[in-house]
Amino acid sequence: MGQDYYSVLEITHSAGDTDIKKAYRKLALKFHPLKNKEPAAPHRFRQIAEAYDVLSDHRKKATYDKFGEEGLKGGIPSEFGGEDAWTGGYVFHGNPERTFREFFGGDNPFADFFTPEGREVNTGFGGLRGRGVKVQDPPVERDLYLSLEDLFFGCTKKIKITRRVMNEDGHTSSIRDKILSIDVHPGWSQGTKITFPKEGDQGPNIIPADIIFIVKEKPHPRFKRQGDDLIYTANIDLGRALTGCTVEINTLDERILNIPVNDIVHPKYSKVVPGEGMRLATDHNLKGDLIIQFDIRFPEHLTPHKKQLLRKALLA
């Protein structure tokens, strides 16, 4: 036979919401391991948390009252439960401290009611306060991968999140989807954070966490970003490096640039094209620079005749 959650909380089966909360408040404080040093206290504390988790939720309580612990945890056949059958089965989250914090509030709610010596604090309001100050969950951070084109022009991204929300009855919760809209501004850089306040999971006596999206740049086939500048690597052979060339570049906004290079291109040489980089976040009409670097291809083989010609040209 399954455990009797009503007996665990030392209440009758006719107990209402207020009775269930009072019972949990009393027993959780009595058997909390910080105060109760008996070996059985941690197990009893966990039992109390699980019983409260079930009986304080109207849907779980109704399922338990009708089918017992076996039906609650094992799932209800559809022929008994109908369309609303609890087919998934209930699993306790296993963290009695979490239940305690959510009920009383505070990162260390136990400290609000007892001195370090374990004596109960008199709050002056007829006993313990019950549900207390709400505590916000830590922020939830997610990466937002954007292309250089997204960051050059700006765009709007629609992100679907799944979160737990409280139902209208204030006791039960459900999983729902929500679409968040992010307006990406031209010039945003990697590491930019976009915060959606209090869009995290909802729960009793907690403030939902903020959801923070952090911009990450996708690799680009032609350019590498360096602040507000764009780096482009041109592949040229040794002859063009020594005698001059024109580099053709397809820009992010689909223009073709023909950049003449009349200098001798050595391994550390680079050419700067002003105003052809990324748009600036502070002024979208201004842009950084385009920096052209070079990868010089050396010949793998030279005939004796070509070597002789090179000696005459370079060593004269």
Q: In which band, very low, low, confident or very high, does the pLDDT at 92 lie, cut at 50, 70 and 90?
A: confident
CATH label, 5-133, candidates 3.30.70.260, 1.10.1520.10, 1.10.287.110, 2.40.480.10:
1.10.287.110
- Stated length of the chain: 316
pLDDT tens digits along 15-38: 999 999 999 999 998 999 888 889
pLDDT tens digits along 118-165: 444 443 333 344 444 567 888 999 999 999 999 999 999 999 998 888
pLDDT tens digits along 203-242: 777 789 999 999 999 999 999 999 999 999 999 999 999 9
Fold: same for 136-217 and 228-314: yes
pLDDT at 129: 40
pLDDT tens digits along 46-71: 999 999 999 999 888 988 888 888 87
Tokens of 105: 């509030």
Can you list the alpha helix ranges (DSSP code H) found in the chain?
5-8, 17-31, 41-55, 58-74, 78-81, 96-104, 148-153, 238-243, 304-314
Structural contact between residues 75 and 98, judged by C-beta atoms closer than 8 angstroms: no
CATH label, 228-314, candidates 3.30.300.160, 3.40.50.620, 2.60.260.20, 1.20.120.450:
2.60.260.20
Q: Is the pLDDT of residue 10 over 60?
A: yes
pLDDT at 309: 87
When pLDDT is averaged across residues 164-176 and rounded to a whole number, the result is: 80
Q: Is the pLDDT of residue 291 over 90?
A: yes
Is CATH 3.50.50.60 the right assignment for the domain spanning 136-217? no
CA distance 275 to 286: 7
CA distance 302 to 314: 15
Backbone angles phi, psi at 313, to 5 degrees: -75, -35
pLDDT at 316: 64
Q: What is the DSSP letter of 268?
A: T
Domains of the chain: which residue ranges?
5-133, 136-217, 228-314
Backbone angles phi, psi at 206, to 5 degrees: -130, 155
